[in-house]
Structure 1
Amino acid sequence: MKPAKSSTTSWCAAAIVVVTMVSGGLVAAQSAPDGDNGRYSMTPIPDGVLRLDTRTGAVSTCTRNDAGWACYAVPDERSALDAEIGRLQAEVERLKGQFAAGPTVSGKIDEALPKSDPLKKPEPQAREPKVAEGERKLEIPLPSDQDLDRAMSFLEKAWRRLIDMANRVQKDVSGKI
């Protein structure tokens, strides 16, 4: 009886080896490379393998864990940049459309402005006599010659101080070298 059991075990072991080799050959035949170097390019890294898909350019990190090998896609900055570029282009087109449609708020209105502003504080009456609506003028006071002279002297002093400071820095740097 022992010889029969031993031969049965041998036959089962041989059958398992043959099935494993055949199935391994089938798997290898199914995942045959598409080109000379194959679809994926593998590069060893300390934690596992870095996998590059040569068709799509996607990069994954593959690590071995208790369940086997697991590959996870590496975040692609290029796709994030492309998405942001697309969003900005869409916003530019939307803004161009709004600009082409015309302003939503016009600087000129057809309605007359109210004669008085309820939120405005009353002005003292003793300043100037009122002028008719058509004769209003906007006057901007220009600086006098004295004001211009003061501004020029200030700028000259500031310029001299800046030049003196630059000369001191240059002397300090050239003296240390």
Structure 2
Amino acid sequence: MAMLNGAIRFGGPAIVAAMLLLAPGAAAEEYDGTPDDRFTIVETATGILRIDKETGNVSTCREKVSGGWTCQIAADERAAYEAEIDRLSAENKALADRLAEIRRRLEALGDEADRNKDKTLSRDELMRFFTNPPELSETDEKAVKEALDVTEKAFRGFLGVMREIERDLKSDDAKTDKGAE
């Protein structure tokens, strides 16, 4: 505070502090009960809804015990919808970018396949291979049979272990049931 020609001069922080003290709340606005052209006022059981025709904001207004009204901006579902639209738009863009990348890679793979087509099987050759597999030699058939035998033994061993675990669990349950009686 400084004296200037007999008048008191307040600094910036003092003015801000005075304004904050005079304001009823940062998000609250005073409403004197007189609607103007900018707002539509709707009475409800719990107070008044004030709709701002310019911005679309909806405020809930309640009469204060000390007199006057206090209005606070209501949660706007539109903002939630717009946020969801923004999120979905970003996700859509990310997916479109990913799809473009996959298409680019697929095209590159197609180009690579075209360059190496003399080294690969055609679709018809693949279909013939899978519908009429080549005959196995006696050595190959023995190897396949041995592999199947080993797999069968391993699977049977696994099933045996599972049966033992099941028996152990049942006996533990029986012991627990007897102890509870």
Per the shorter chain, which TM-score range? 0.3 to 0.5
Rg larger for = 1
Bigger RCO of structures 1 and 2 (CA < 8 A, at least 6 apart) = 2
TM-score, normalising length: structure 2: 0.36
TM-score, normalising length: structure 1: 0.37
Instruction: Compare the two structures and name the one with the higher helix fraction.
Output: 2
